[in-house]
Structure 1
Amino acid sequence: MSRRQVYFNSWSEHFRRPFGAIQTGESVRFRIHIELKYVLSVILMIHKDGETFHEIEMVRKAVQNKEFEASFQTYGASGLYFYHFRIVYRDRDQTERTIYYGKADDDCEGRGNITEDRSLLKQYQLTSYDHRDPAPDWYCHGVIYHIFVDRFFNGDPHHKIQNPKKNSFIYATEGDTPCYIKDENGEIIRWDFFGGNLSGIIAKLPYLHDLGVTALYLSPIFEARSNHKYDTGDYRTIDPMFGDTETLQKLITKAGRLGMHIILDGVFSHVGADSHYFNQFKTYGDGGAYNNPNSPYFDWFTFSRYPDCYDAWWNVRDLPSVNKSNVLFQDFIYRSPESIIHRWTKMGIGGWRLDVADELPDTFIAGIRSAVDQHTTKEEGKVLIGEVWEDASHKVSYGLRRHYLEGGMLHGVMNYPFRLMIINLIKQKITAEQAVRISMTQKSNYPDEAFRANMNNIGTHDTERILTVFRGDKRKLRLAVQFLMTLPGVPCIYYGDEAGLPGGKDPDNRRFFPWGREDMETMSFYRSAIGERRKDINLQVGNFFPFSIDRLFGFIRYSSDEAFTIAVFNPTPVDQAIEFALFNDQTDEGRTERRVRELFSDGILVAAFDFIIKRK
């Protein structure tokens, strides 16, 4: 059976209106085109996540018309709906048959597939959100710079290391390659440091401002034994190697004068075994849950056999998991007026990024958001971003569907799916058409405000550096950077990438910034790409419609019908011509193609691993 005999496209408003995620209580009109001659019934099969199906009979629009239509109103609390179509017809032999139309095999939305086997059916997704929940303008219009504090810059005039830790080692030079010292079990037994600190960031604020950065996302800065600080020792204290509260306040103030905001890393899923709360090594005296069952922190943790058998984050014994449903822990983190969220947010930071947000209950995230919002003013809002590696709109964690993008929790998430799409497209592991389908699927699954607020990246402290991903090929790097600065969402640069810093997996991706040894060619195209974004409102917050032209990937972004920006990328090693006979925007509506034709003509060449941006 031909795909065109039964056709539906969730991205075309002719077939599903309105497009994308909708506010709960709104109605959606569905329409499906059927060329089959003897149609007996067409049923919209739709159900709310976890509930039973609603079977809604679709009505033929008019006699002899080949389109069937039905409407469905979302209801109750926000959440997901899943749907497909059941079609009963008679074939030429007058045999009654049932077929199903659902999502395509590539797991993307848009055009779907027919199947007679219901077990092979993939359901379409409809996201309903509670309320519009836009991130602050300063965030959405900005460019973020992610700093791994120990590896950025030492602000001491003599490069003396502040308050070095016991049983650790300091690298001989800032150009050394990071390494771990581990025991026979693979456990790190001696942490390594370069000596970067908050005063170093202050010293480099002019550099960051000149680069075009408007927000600094800092890796954890609270006291901890490690160099990365995800093993929190004391949430109330800045790590002495980094500075103190006064230094942080100075950073916030001086950055603010340059139009920059500070985003802190909130690590609330677990703490360090060497912490004020667990205190396995008695660094903090004789108290702590590990040493005393009567400790006020004892109920923060879950012991199966006291004291050595306890829940730990991903079974890493150095990172005891915290019970997020514990009321005292909730008070400590966000509910009390003296909580950690209030303590640091009231200093004037721009917001928080939540580590492993999947492992924090929705109610916990909502509590943090409520506390953060208490520091929002008419002049300036605060932002809350979560670490999620997959499509966050339908994420299931610990057996529970997550609702953190549906209003009142996260403004957006770290956009690892876009990172993977960019890399795979440039490495020719996916086609331009597949990249269109991937990006359109995210656009249709996410509430619009969340889609715009995602923190996009092409590298973080948890991934290989982007230059190493492309094996030193600067043409591919330049293309990836241009993607980062032009795709919807807020771009985030991993420190040192703009200087051409290479690096494999942890710890190699955490080298010290190569001050005085920067690659100036790489610096140049980072500055250029940042500048393109900073001067173009469409690239900051404009609507987004991607398209492909054979092997070329492109998109249009616009804030109004009168002014738009179009980018066309060639992710291949040979020059490619724009040929409109091969134009494909996946929506079947033609509006995108008409706008592209306004600015581009057939036959224009896009050079290998290059791009063209035009504006109207």
Structure 2
Amino acid sequence: MAEITYNSWLSTYKRPFGAALIGTNFEFDLIIDTPHHVAVNFVIQFENGFKSYEKMTPSSENRFHFALNNLSEIGFYNYYFQIIEFDGPHEYRYFYGATDIGGRLGKTYADEGAVIAYTQTIFLKKEKAPDWYRNAVFYQIFPDAFAQIGHANQKDDIFFYGKETDKPYYIREKDGDITRWTFYGGNLQGIISKIPYLKTLGVTALYLNPIFEARSTHRYDTSDYMTIDSILGSEADFEALVTALHQHDMRLILDGVFSHVGRNSKYFDFDGKSGGMGAYQTNKSPYFDWFSFTHYPDDYKSWWGIKDLPTIDKSKTSFQQFIYGDEDSVIDKWNGLGIDGWRLDVADELPDFFIKGIRDTLERYPEQVLIGEVWEDASRKIAYEQYRKYIYGDGLHATMNYPFRDIILGLLVGGLSPELAAKKVMQLSENYPRDVFLNNFNNIGTHDTERILSLLDHNLTKLNLAVGLLMTLPGVPTIYYGDEAGLTGLKDPENRAFFPWDNINQDTQKIYQNWIKIRKSIPALADGDINLFYSDKIFGFVRTDETQTAIFIYNLANEGVSVNAQDLTFLTQPVEFTPFFIGALESISKLT
């Protein structure tokens, strides 16, 4: 069998690298070392559609070339190589494809059905995010648990914590349904009062979990999209927050929960307290066709079967108009109050046409950004048996970068080798359009995950590495409120404790402040390309823009190591630097 070489990450074999605009011309070169005569076909397939076998042309003694210039569908293409080798009267057919990483060097397959294909992303247009966004350091606030000024307004059927140091708690029925949430009473005036703290930390933008009228403490069960939850304050308080942030050159994005509403919302009105005009109360409701009833009124479609969260049918024109189409739509109302963007909850539940409708509305607000909650590689995401078009143009500017969180945690606590981590980052770089890759909303913890300090078993040395990676890998870093103050806790509700204003961990806070300063001092971290390298103990990368090169080296071993460029494996272009020593579980950055 012939020796075959192809590497999708090197220009020797593929040009250009990575995702490309529709209409781009590609060139592929496959090197085959064999004494026998061979014929080679380039096999291409759009997502899971029809396969085409195209003949590759010999361009030298052992090199086969193929030019591809007719990719007309937005999405991604699978491709691999078919080799037919002739040894006298015998003919052998085999295939060359990718490994489970997806890119780089591949391997030979005897069975075509077993081939892992390489993939090629084709997108419609470059995603120009607002200038402020790419340079931002975000801070995610769970509004109930951050800060309070004054006394919280009372609401029916809830409890308030006795002390801010009490642990978060829910009251559940025997069937598991939550019937009472306990509230800390954090509010918008509290957030305003802490802007000086956030400025000192280095934060430049806020992402707020839902703030609209709702029954629960998390507020993902929206009751009224047009109203600020009374516990948080008034619309005047919200306008004051936006004004104060902008005066401090800070930005604000809101959480848009458009997949479902609360059972007791004005739109569904299960409890009958909203005037009896909700869909549950009457089939004459103006909202009736937003919901899907199997047997009216008690059997209805809900998000993941949670009866408290009736699902909205996003195909209904009246709902589309209400959210983004009308002049007085939900999006336009809050945009008109000066916000700087939206994070779309459970983007998998929102059809592509719905996301595009929101994006089209936001085109009237060029300084706004649209981010989607997607937990996987958004360029290859299948939701409800469909490949999603989140990031191919006219959709999201960015997605929440949970894949990077997985890589960081894998390196620090999950046994992920530096080699595999580097290849996983590189594969995402290959799959995503470059602008989206740099726009992605990076995190090491959110309201949906365990606290980073708990996952790291309170190890501040590892926390320093985790925050360093968060701040230096491509994408926009986001800090979950209280992580910098040393908050701990596992999954919801433990990860939603009140901010420890009287007991801030100075050591963890300094870690975040130091890395934020590094982030802001190196422009290449916002816009630069990445070149990854590794050894058995080292994970590192080079970030480069037109004027600057920054080298980051993370020692993941429990011992100090000497670092020499010759001892490292680079995934693309090798870089030279002077050898040095780095201590156990430490990081080093170098500017050139």
- Indicate the SS of the match to 1:565: strand
Matching residue of 1:361: 351
- Indicate the SS of the match to 1:505: coil
**For residues 51-71 of structure 1, what are the alpha-carbon distances to aligned partners after superposition, in whole Å with 9 as ceiling and x for unaligned?**
312222111112xx2111101
- Indicate the SS of the match to 1:84: strand
Matching residue of 1:438: 424
Q: CA deviation at 1:146?
A: 0.2
Q: CA deviation at 1:182?
A: 0.8
Q: CA deviation at 1:164?
A: 2.2
Query: Which residue, out of 111, 114, 128, partners 1:134?
Result: 128
| Runs of 4 or more above 6 Å deviation | none
**Equivalent residues in 2 for 1:144-293 (5 A)?**
144-156=138-150, 160=151, 162-293=152-283
CA contact (8 A) 2:531 2:571 kept: no
Output the CA distance in 1 between the equivalents of 2:569 and 2:273. Answer: 62
Matching residue of 2:589: 613
Structure 1 residue 580 corresponds to structure 2 residue 574: no
**For residues 553-580 of structure 1, what are the alpha-carbon distances to aligned partners after superposition, in whole Å with 9 as ceiling and x for unaligned?**
10000112x5200000012222222143
Matching residue of 1:23: 21
Matching residue of 2:93: 98
Output the CA distance in 2 between the equivalents of 1:54 and 1:586. Answer: 30
CA contact (8 A) 2:102 2:117 kept: no
CA contact (8 A) 1:60 1:68 kept: yes
Structure 1 residue 89 corresponds to structure 2 residue 85: yes
Query: Which residue, out of 430, 433, 443, partners 1:447?
Result: 433
Output the CA distance in 2 between the equivalents of 1:461 and 1:563. Answer: 35
Given residue 591 of structure 2, which amino acid in structure 1 is its aligned partner? R
- Which moves more between the two structures, 281-290 or 146-155? 281-290
- Indicate the SS of the match to 1:100: strand
Output the CA distance in 2 between the equivalents of 1:483 and 1:40. Answer: 46
- Indicate the SS of the match to 1:497: coil
The sequence identity of aligned pairs, in percent, is 43
Structure 1 residue 36 corresponds to structure 2 residue 34: yes
Query: Which residue, out of 516, 534, 542, partners 1:548?
Result: 534
Q: CA deviation at 1:38?
A: 1.2
CA contact (8 A) 1:486 1:539 kept: yes
CA contact (8 A) 1:549 1:580 kept: no
Matching residue of 1:527: 513
Given residue 35 of structure 1, which amino acid in structure 2 is its aligned partner? D
CA contact (8 A) 1:143 1:212 kept: yes
Output the CA distance in 1 between the equivalents of 2:494 and 2:469. Answer: 25
Given residue 303 of structure 1, which amino acid in structure 2 is its aligned partner? F
Query: Which residue, out of 387, 395, 398, partners 1:412?
Result: 398
Matching residue of 2:66: 70
Matching residue of 2:75: 79
| Cα 1:41–1:317 shift into 2, 3 Å | same
Structure 1 residue 513 corresponds to structure 2 residue 499: yes
Output the CA distance in 1 between the equivalents of 2:360 and 2:220. Answer: 24
Matching residue of 1:115: 109
**For residues 331-388 of structure 1, what are the alpha-carbon distances to aligned partners after superposition, in whole Å with 9 as ceiling and x for unaligned?**
0000001000000011111100000011100110000011112122xxxx11000000
Q: CA deviation at 1:168?
A: 1.2
**For residues 4-43 of structure 1, what are the alpha-carbon distances to aligned partners after superposition, in whole Å with 9 as ceiling and x for unaligned?**
x111111101111000000011111011111122132111
Output the CA distance in 2 between the equivalents of 1:95 and 1:426. Answer: 52
Q: CA deviation at 1:452?
A: 0.5
**For residues 95-143 of structure 1, what are the alpha-carbon distances to aligned partners after superposition, in whole Å with 9 as ceiling and x for unaligned?**
3111111111x33311111110112111111000001112111010110
Query: Which residue, out of 298, 312, 316, partners 1:322?
Result: 312
Given residue 257 of structure 2, which amino acid in structure 1 is its aligned partner? V
Q: CA deviation at 1:155?
A: 1.7
Output the CA distance in 2 between the equivalents of 1:408 and 1:550. Answer: 41
Q: CA deviation at 1:179?
A: 1.7
**For residues 474-529 of structure 1, what are the alpha-carbon distances to aligned partners after superposition, in whole Å with 9 as ceiling and x for unaligned?**
11111100000000000000000000111111100000000010100110110000
Output the CA distance in 2 between the equivalents of 1:293 and 1:368. Answer: 28
Output the CA distance in 1 between the equivalents of 2:494 and 2:355. Answer: 32
**For residues 425-448 of structure 1, what are the alpha-carbon distances to aligned partners after superposition, in whole Å with 9 as ceiling and x for unaligned?**
112511111011100000000001
CA contact (8 A) 2:42 2:82 kept: yes
Output the CA distance in 1 between the equivalents of 2:563 and 2:138. Answer: 33
| Cα 1:120–1:75 shift into 2, 3 Å | closer
Q: CA deviation at 1:73?
A: 1.3
**For residues 399-441 of structure 1, what are the alpha-carbon distances to aligned partners after superposition, in whole Å with 9 as ceiling and x for unaligned?**
1111110111100100000000000011251111101110000
Q: CA deviation at 1:47?
A: 1.8
Output the CA distance in 1 between the equivalents of 2:588 and 2:48. Answer: 46
Matching residue of 1:56: 54
Output the CA distance in 1 between the equivalents of 2:311 and 2:386. Answer: 18
Given residue 215 of structure 2, which amino acid in structure 1 is its aligned partner? R
Matched pairs, number: 592
Matching residue of 1:568: 553
Given residue 464 of structure 1, which amino acid in structure 2 is its aligned partner? E
CA contact (8 A) 1:108 1:437 kept: no
- Indicate the SS of the match to 2:323: helix
Output the CA distance in 2 between the equivalents of 1:426 and 1:570. Answer: 11
Output the CA distance in 2 between the equivalents of 1:185 and 1:39. Answer: 69
Given residue 55 of structure 1, which amino acid in structure 2 is its aligned partner? Y
Q: CA deviation at 1:94?
A: 5.4
CA contact (8 A) 2:373 2:400 kept: yes
CA contact (8 A) 1:289 1:301 kept: yes
Given residue 26 of structure 1, which amino acid in structure 2 is its aligned partner? T
Q: CA deviation at 1:50?
A: 4.2
CA contact (8 A) 1:384 1:411 kept: yes
Output the CA distance in 2 between the equivalents of 1:580 and 1:238. Answer: 55
Given residue 559 of structure 2, which amino acid in structure 1 is its aligned partner? V
Output the CA distance in 2 between the equivalents of 1:36 and 1:179. Answer: 68
Matching residue of 1:461: 447
Given residue 60 of structure 1, which amino acid in structure 2 is its aligned partner? P
- Indicate the SS of the match to 1:498: coil
Given residue 569 of structure 2, which amino acid in structure 1 is its aligned partner? N
Output the CA distance in 2 between the equivalents of 1:433 and 1:137. Answer: 34
Matching residue of 2:8: 10
Given residue 58 of structure 1, which amino acid in structure 2 is its aligned partner? M
CA contact (8 A) 1:547 1:586 kept: yes
Q: CA deviation at 1:552?
A: 0.3
**For residues 272-296 of structure 1, what are the alpha-carbon distances to aligned partners after superposition, in whole Å with 9 as ceiling and x for unaligned?**
0010100001121211000100101
CA contact (8 A) 2:378 2:399 kept: yes
**For residues 443-470 of structure 1, what are the alpha-carbon distances to aligned partners after superposition, in whole Å with 9 as ceiling and x for unaligned?**
0000011000000000000000000001
CA contact (8 A) 2:102 2:119 kept: no
